[in-house]
Structure 1
């Protein structure tokens, strides 16, 4: 179990559990391409949803919502000529602060496939000054196979993406998979990262 002191509320402490949580990601049905996905608990209750570009009408922009449809994170990819020449592509996750203005909470850098250094790993930086002591995070494994982890600066996995064996035997796609999240870790942050990975790897959020 996690103590209150060990919680990492990157988006909100409301999404930090005292025990390990396993949630299921399911491609949202009956929508156009780029519709996004829904996250449910073991009782099939919706916990989060992600709107992709098919719903928002904008490429390289995503919204993570809570169970009531309230926006938690606005996620955008930085563009332009400068980024095209860079060795990485940068995504940014914003939340609204108590005054209603956008506050940058994390950035994710993916290797630019146009560059020779595309073997670099995907790295996530926490931009909040209050949480800067938690360090950075990294993606290890292959999200396209739904077999990867988000690890902290010490190399400890804080979240694991996988497909249950019984589901893998009957499914040819990875449209249904589970995410195990360690105690104290902000689940909204984890699914903000997964939303970006889904887009990067031509998932349900991408048009």
Structure 2
């Protein structure tokens, strides 16, 4: 069993394994992005990309009320341009509404081209859990993709059922199996970045 301390919010850590559902919003409706629902079809998160925000390289994860939980943006500047990695920073909000760093995601700049692209790594900032590092394995556009902790345990697994694959070959609807104790807000913050990296619903 994989158990973690909250990374974004303990409100989104369940004691049982959960299956969440992701449905992409068309670009013509609210600027794209995607919606996450639970097994009872209740909206849990909404992810807005540049079509909504009007800013490239920026994402927002909102809760079911529409309140911001995570602000995620791609770092720029000369150092970023010279680096072999793209670097994304995720920020949550403290009780005063001030952003505080949560995670950094690094991916090789060629990772969106080959299926065997370089490893995508995530580090927690600051590290207050037993798992300070995570990595992505698999190929996100195929919805065959996992998030693993520093011990190599899978904390979240994306997939598409055969029935859904036959009806929606584009990957507009897929599920994510999340292990007990795992912070769902963190997981879908990471998935939002993957969606953007591979030029899908959150990217203009």
Question: Could you state the TM-score of these two structures normalised by the residue count of structure 2?
Answer: 0.92
Residues in 2 aligned to 1:83 and 1:7: alpha-carbon distance in whole angstroms: 31
Residues in 1 aligned to 2:91 and 2:76: alpha-carbon distance in whole angstroms: 16
Residues in 1 aligned to 2:6 and 2:146: alpha-carbon distance in whole angstroms: 19
Match for residue 160 of structure 2?
A: 163
Match for residue 120 of structure 1?
A: 118
Structure 1 residue 187, shift from structure 2 partner: 0.1
Say if 2:58 is the partner of 1:66. no
Indicate the SS of the match to 1:64.
Answer: strand
Match for residue 131 of structure 2?
A: 134
Match for residue 201 of structure 2?
A: 204
* 19, 25, 28: which one aligns with 1:22: 19
Deviations 1:91-144 (A, max 9, x none): 000011122211000000010229xxx94300000012423x322000000001
Q: Structure 1: give runs of 5+ residues left out of the alignment.
A: none
Cα RMSD after superposing both structures: 1.8
Say if 2:90 is the partner of 1:93. yes
Task: Please tell me whether the aligned partners of residues 23 and 173 of structure 2 are also in contact (alpha carbons under 8 angstroms).
Answer: yes
Match for residue 74 of structure 2?
A: 77
Task: Please tell me whether the aligned partners of residues 137 and 148 of structure 2 are also in contact (alpha carbons under 8 angstroms).
Answer: yes
Residue-pair matches, total: 200
Structure 1 residue 8, shift from structure 2 partner: 2.1
Residues in 1 aligned to 2:181 and 2:54: alpha-carbon distance in whole angstroms: 34
* 180, 183, 193: which one aligns with 1:183: 180
Deviations 1:5-37 (A, max 9, x none): x44200010000000010000012473585200
